[in-house]
Amino acid sequence: MKTDFSKWLSIIARFALVAVIAFLAYELHQNNQLLRKQAEYTHVRNKMEGNEHFINDDAFRKVFLKAESEIALSDSEIVMVYSYHFNTYLKWQWEWQQLAATDPDQVPLHQWGHYLRVYPLTLEAWEWRKSHFQPEFAKFFEETLEPDSRRVE
């Protein structure tokens, strides 16, 4: 009798263990999906903030357009453009950390490379403050993004 009870208890324990493992796997999957969605939201929000900066700050917009026209900028105007790019790179670092951990294929390399090719003073701004970034992101930037930025579209 005890043997039958022990067998049944062992079988139930094994099923319970399998169920717990399956539940944990499902929860991990759900968590990864949530992290991916949060990273996507962060990316969209970062793009929106950049656009809002152009919309809401007339002085900045004029300086940025002046830089795009390759008209010489004053030192304070250069710092303004560099600071804008620095903030963009900080956002990229955050996005890269989030996406590299969950889904590295979702890192928006094409968009970032386009940004580096199109907007003025991007690489100069990187050189200006690259020591402020995490070493892993700086390596990623210089090995992946910077060479891509020199490619002509």
pLDDT in tens, 62-79: 998 898 888 899 999 999
pLDDT for res 5: 80
- C-alpha span between 148 and 151 (Å, rounded): 5
What are 43-61's pLDDT values in tens digits? Answer: 778 778 877 877 888 888 8
3-class state of residue 74 by DSSP: coil
pLDDT of the residue at 134:
93
The pLDDT score that the predictor gives to residue 1 is: 57
85 in Cβ contact with 122 (< 8 Å) = yes
Low-confidence ranges of the chain (pLDDT < 50): 152-153
Q: Angle 117-107-97 (CA atoms, 0-180°, nearest 5)?
A: 110
The residue with tokens 């889904």 is 103
Predicted pLDDT at 73: 92
Here the tokens at position 145 are: 């993004």
